[in-house]
């Protein structure tokens, strides 16, 4: 019998003692020189990151943009990176897709059927039928963009509706009403009030980007998380260690050290 | 000196006598058997479609989902398909992207810098900084999703704001205010009132999907278009001709016939 996404999530969080996901936003122009001579530098870099972190994190969030930016090599790196991640870990496709039914079906085929991601991030502007193909696959979950961490996130998300609620509040309520526990929310680490409200009111799985390089305070965030279904993503603070890297061993050890430090902090500040 | 997107658009519409773009939503599972033995069937199919249509259409809209669905082969087909399109034609990347700044930068690198698309479709939920990387490239244009053609499009887009306007109207007004003529709009063929309003009030380039397989009436649409910067997309009605296909020549001739028929109808019903 297949387990649900939420069961898989609970299991891996408990086993690893971690609510952290490593964001594989691997930029070919930023990875250390030691990877330059491999036939697929991005793939080799990712394998090292996974080796360094697989016992410390709950899973991985892969941002498809970084792979699309390098074409065929990127598609290859993406496919082989996902395969390299142990099966019991959470694999999130951070693609922010959302399109008419037959196109969303293609995205579901790409990321759920072929690449075996467990979940995908989804942009809600096109409405109900644009999310359905993702939800018709058992054992998967869709993280709907609610409140993002970027500087312009308020431009649209904070618009006030007729009944005085904000657009993002309405989107959260509507999608939750339509799809119940098949969906989770993306809420940026800087929106601590929202994180508190949503984790207090129901067991909604949250995906929380925006700590580290995006610069929000971990302690303030942790004080406001009230259930244990959250995942915090960290990309740049994990995968780009400071200083010169001389070899793979050194790289793996620095990455592991960074990751352990962030994970320890998260666990230290947990309030439940 | 580089020309702007709008200049390129005006030129190609005038030269080809066409406001039609062919949508290369090429589904590996649907293409005729005659392509099965090529090393990259989707690419070979696309080349035939382009050969058949390049003198009849203004350009091509490529829906990235269909390429992502087939992994590495898809990335290769995408890259080589774009290169196969003549330079003077409009190449639209229908990707509906929109993410935080550094991620949108990667998408811009992928689709504008590397693959030389002229424009991209954009999902507006994440706000101003999520569109900026696309706009920092000269000669490009971003088509912002305003009113889409799918059945669930009203779920979010039609929400009423405080001042009684609809969400999509506000998004259209705001993005236009922020970015002027660097952006165009995506409006589905079924929303004829909106198409009339927006094409009457200003020279906003429109990308109009939803005729043909999505089943909206061409005449009703054409009566409501009031400027000549629009592009109508047709995918399934062009690329999947009825009946058995025995060879490439037959395929090319049927595709050309379909395309010419649609283009003739568009031109017949033009009211300006």
Query: Helix A248-269 vs helix A41-53: angle between axes, to the nearest 10 degrees?
Result: 50
How many inter-chain contacts (A to B, CB under 8 Å) are there?
Answer: 186
The verdict on A106 touching B (C-beta cutoff 8 Å) is yes
Instruction: Return the pLDDT at A271.
Output: 81
The reply to whether residue B25 touches residue A128, judged by beta carbons under 8 angstroms, is: no
The verdict on B154 touching A (C-beta cutoff 8 Å) is yes
pLDDT tens-digit series, residues A98-143: 999 999 999 999 999 999 999 999 999 999 999 999 999 999 999 9
pLDDT tens-digit series, residues A71-97: 999 999 999 999 999 999 999 999 999
Of the candidates A25, A63, A150, the beta carbon closest to that of B129 is on A150
| Domains contained in chain B, CATH given | 5-159+182-269 (3.20.20.70)
Structure tokens at A66: 């970084």
- In chain A, residues 7-66 whose CB comes closer than 8 Å to chain B: 25, 27, 63-66
The verdict on A100 touching B (C-beta cutoff 8 Å) is yes
Instruction: Return the pLDDT at B2.
Output: 81
Q: ∠ CA B30-A108-B41 to the nearest 5 degrees?
A: 30
- Please give the average pLDDT of every successive group of 10 residues along chain B, which has 272 residues: 91 98 96 96 98 98 98 98 98 98 97 98 98 96 97 97 96 96 95 96 93 75 95 95 93 96 93 78
Cα(B263)–Cα(B257) distance, integer angstroms: 10
Residues 6 or more apart whose CB falls under 8 angstroms from that of B58 comprise B9, B12, B13, B16, B18, B19, B20, B21, B89, B90, B231
Of the candidates A69, A109, A124, the beta carbon closest to that of B110 is on A69
Residue A215 has pLDDT above 60, yes or no: no
The active-site residue out of A96, A196, A248, A254 is A96
Q: Are A81 and A47 in contact, with CB atoms under 8 Å apart?
A: yes
Task: Give B97's contacts in chain A (Cβ within 8 Å).
Answer: 65, 96
The verdict on A149 touching B (C-beta cutoff 8 Å) is yes
Minimal Cα–Cα distance from B238 to chain A, Å?
A: 17
Q: What is the CA radius of gyration of chain A?
A: 18
Of the candidates B109, B115, B159, the beta carbon closest to that of A167 is on B159
The reply to whether residue A68 touches residue B111, judged by beta carbons under 8 angstroms, is: yes
Q: Are B15 and B53 in contact, with CB atoms under 8 Å apart?
A: no
The verdict on A155 touching B (C-beta cutoff 8 Å) is yes
The reply to whether residue B65 touches residue A25, judged by beta carbons under 8 angstroms, is: no
Of the candidates B63, B155, B171, the beta carbon closest to that of A127 is on B155
Minimal Cα–Cα distance from B14 to chain A, Å?
A: 31
Q: What is the CA radius of gyration of chain B?
A: 18
More confident residue, A212 or A232: A232
The reply to whether residue A128 touches residue B155, judged by beta carbons under 8 angstroms, is: yes
Residues of B annotated as catalytic are: 96
Residue burial B75-105, b: 16+ Cβ < 10 Å; e: rest: bbbbbbbbeebeeebbbbbbbbbbbbbbbbb
Instruction: Return the pLDDT at B201.
Output: 86
What is the model's pTM? 0.97
Which of A29, A66, A69 best probes binding to B when mutated, by most B CB atoms within 10 angstroms?
A69
Of the candidates B70, B126, B156, the beta carbon closest to that of A171 is on B156
The fraction of chain A above a pLDDT of 90, given in percent, is: 91
Is A61 part of the annotated catalytic residue set?
A: no
Instruction: Return the pLDDT at A214.
Output: 58
Give A272's pLDDT tier (boundaries 50, 70, 90).
confident
Residue A213 has pLDDT above 60, yes or no: no
Does the predicted interface ipTM exceed a cut of 0.90?
A: yes
Task: Give A104's contacts in chain B (Cβ within 8 Å).
Answer: 65
B226 half-sphere exposure, CB direction, 13 A CA radius = 13
As separate numbers, helices (DSSP H) first and strands (DSSP E) second, chain A gives 12, 8
The reply to whether residue B171 touches residue A162, judged by beta carbons under 8 angstroms, is: no
**What mean pLDDT do residues A217-245 have?**
94
Name the residue of chain A whose CA is nearest to B166's CA: A161
Instruction: Return the pLDDT at A231.
Output: 98
The verdict on A97 touching B (C-beta cutoff 8 Å) is yes
């Amino acid at each position: 019998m297949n387990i649900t996404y939420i069961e898989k999530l609970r299991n891996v969080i408990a086993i690893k003692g971690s609510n952290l996901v490593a964001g594989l936003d691997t930029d070919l122009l930023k990875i250390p020189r030691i990877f330059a001579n491999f036939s697929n530098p991005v793939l080799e870099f990712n394998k090292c990151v996974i080796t360094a972190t697989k016992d410390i994190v709950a899973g991985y969030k892969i941002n498809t943009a970084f792979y699309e930016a390098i074409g065929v090599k990127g598609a290859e790196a993406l496919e082989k990176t996902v395969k390299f991640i142990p099966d019991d870990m959470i694999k999130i496709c951070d693609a922010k897709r959302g399109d008419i039914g037959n196109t969303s079906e293609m995205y579901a085929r790409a990321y759920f059927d072929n690449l075996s991601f467990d979940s995908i991030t989804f942009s809600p502007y096109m409405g109900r039928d644009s999310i359905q193909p993702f939800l018709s696959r058992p054992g998967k979950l869709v993280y709907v963009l609610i409140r993002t961490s970027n500087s312009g996130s308020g431009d649209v998300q904070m618009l006030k509706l007729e009944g005085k609620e904000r657009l993002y509040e309405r989107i959260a309520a509507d999608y939750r009403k339509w799809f119940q526990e098949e969906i989770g929310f993306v809420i940026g680490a800087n929106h601590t009030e929202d994180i508190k409200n949503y984790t207090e009111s129901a067991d909604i799985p949250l995906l929380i980007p925006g700590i580290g390089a995006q610069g929000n305070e971990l302690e303030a965030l942790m004080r406001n998380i009230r259930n244990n279904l959250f995942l915090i993503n960290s990309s740049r603070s994990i995968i780009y260690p400071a200083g010169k890297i001389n070899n793979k061993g050194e790289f793996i050890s620095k990455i592991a050290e960074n990751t352990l430090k962030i994970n320890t902090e998260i666990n230290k500040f947990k309030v439940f």
